[in-house]
Amino acid sequence: MKIAILTLVFNNYGTRLQSYALCKVLKRLGGENASIRVVNMDTPWGSGARKSFVERFRKLAASFKGYGVHGFKHVADLFRWAYEYRRINREKHDGLCQLRDESFGLINRKIPYTGHFTVDEVRKGCLDAYDVLLVGSDQVWNAAKVPNQEIFLLDFAKKQKRLTYAASFGMTAIPDGMFELYRKGINRFESLLLREKEGLEMCKALGRNDAKVVLDPTLLLGYDDYREIMDDGESPMIEGKYILLYSLNKSYRIYDEVYGMCKRTGCKMVVLKRSFCPPSMERYEGAVELFAVSPGGFLRLIKNAEYVITNSYHALLFSINFNVSFYVYLDNADQENSRLLTILNMCGLDGRVYWETEALPKGVDKIDYGSVNVFLEDQRRKSIEELKKAIYND
């Protein structure tokens, strides 16, 4: 059995780790006879469908709807963030960027990538030799951020089995003018295994009532499965107790809230950034700022943290998987919140959610993971069974 996985390929913790996990699970299901490859194709993140004026207006309206009386401050913060971001990036950061790219080298060697293919090469048949085309995980169907949606909807496929695993739309509505593209595309698949409940509703609107929700690939593996990349020798070691902050949002408040929590608990503030962005850490006395961290280092930072404060989907997943206490701090107007809220609801951890219009709790408490672990183990088994059934017709 030859399986080609069509997913996103770039140096991002969630992107790399979900590919690593899915390949490991597929290899276990297929044994030595299984040939697994992740298709390394042109998919520049962030250059999907251009937003129309109407869509930009809707986003602005969503900010005021989500933030209410705080809407003007939120929009002002976004402009302030954009200004500071440009100022910070006037400086060259080539050295640190190179170090970060190099830090991904170990896990990149552990993922069976194909050679680099262009969209034209995919259309001309470079994947014809594969028996199964498996789309997912990650936000492969997010037209606002990912170009070449026709490819991820397999319009080029011939006789191969067409499946998904934990595919995500990463949005709450189909962009204007793209409904028919998605309707035709979704109906090409023999099986639809999705990552969020909202995806089920979108598939129903597109004519498919048979989609199912499964776990993200990263949750199909346990802590021991990640040890080989956590022990890569390049992971940062932080002395003493610390709170890890990993934020993907354009938010100042999350930094202020975490700093306050660190003061109350006596923990060190450790900030992991994925880009050179505001705010400056100089305003947070004693804070440690990290950038060039490997995926294994990312996992180790989570595993050893006293608490994790995040709005990152995969930082949340690994906090749950490694039984680390956390709080999720969300942008009131972010369409991508659904993926975090889905897994929190499934695990009965809704109480760990806070919003930008709220303050983090004054007192902090640990999570009792007993029932969560039982639930996860059951869902892990069911998700793997669904994947196996889809591929091997079991």
For the chain, give the number of residues. Answer: 394
**In terms of DSSP H, where are the helices of the chain?**
13-30, 53-67, 71-88, 94-103, 105-110, 119-123, 149-152, 179-186, 197-205, 223-230, 253-265, 295-303, 313-321, 337-346, 370-392
For 67, 115, 221, 242, the CA distances from 358, given in Å and listed in that order, are 10, 47, 34, 23
Quote the pLDDT of residue 228. 86
* Nearest residue to 42 (alpha-carbon basis) of 93, 115, 144: 115
Quote the pLDDT of residue 54. 57
Quote the pLDDT of residue 351. 95
Q: Which residue has the tokens 């028996």?
A: 131
Distance, in Å, from the CA atom of 383 to the CA atom of 132, rounded to the nearest integer, reads 18
**Angle subtended at Cα 83 by Cα 143 and Cα 295, rounded to the nearest 5 degrees:** 55
Tell me which of 3.40.720.10, 2.40.50.140, 3.40.50.11720, 3.40.50.1110 is the CATH number of domain 2-48+104-221+376-392.
3.40.50.11720
- What is the full per-residue pLDDT of the chain (394 aa) written as tens digits? 999 999 999 899 999 999 999 999 999 999 888 899 999 987 666 666 655 655 666 667 777 778 888 888 888 999 999 999 999 999 999 999 999 999 998 899 999 999 999 999 999 999 999 999 999 888 999 988 898 999 999 999 998 999 999 999 988 888 888 999 999 999 999 999 999 888 999 999 999 999 999 999 999 999 999 998 986 655 677 889 999 999 999 999 999 999 999 999 999 999 999 999 999 999 999 999 999 999 999 999 999 999 999 999 999 999 999 999 999 999 988 877 888 998 999 999 999 999 999 999 998 899 999 999 999 999 999 999 999 999 998 6
Quote the pLDDT of residue 55. 62
Quote the pLDDT of residue 175. 83
Quote the pLDDT of residue 338. 84
Distance, in Å, from the CA atom of 69 to the CA atom of 313, rounded to the nearest integer, reads 27
* Nearest residue to 325 (alpha-carbon basis) of 366, 375, 369: 366
Quote the pLDDT of residue 48. 63
Residue 180 CB neighbours (<10 A)? 10
Quote the pLDDT of residue 145. 87
For 61, 113, 123, 147, the CA distances from 138, given in Å and listed in that order, are 27, 16, 22, 14
Helix (H, G, I), strand (E, B) or coil at 94: helix
- Tokens at residue 105, please? 């080298």
For 48, 85, 87, 227, the CA distances from 91, given in Å and listed in that order, are 27, 11, 8, 37
Quote the pLDDT of residue 45. 62
Quote the pLDDT of residue 333. 85
Distance of CA 319 to the CA centre of its chain: 13
Residue 227 CB neighbours (<10 A)? 12
Quote the pLDDT of residue 172. 80
Quote the pLDDT of residue 176. 82
Distance, in Å, from the CA atom of 65 to the CA atom of 233, rounded to the nearest integer, reads 47
- Give the strand order in the sheet containing 288-290: 288-290, 268-272, 242-246, 307-310, 326-330, 353-355
Quote the pLDDT of residue 232. 62
Distance, in Å, from the CA atom of 133 to the CA atom of 328, rounded to the nearest integer, reads 34
Distance, in Å, from the CA atom of 232 to the CA atom of 115, rounded to the nearest integer, reads 25
- Give the strand order in the sheet containing 113-117: 113-117, 35-41, 2-6, 132-135, 161-164
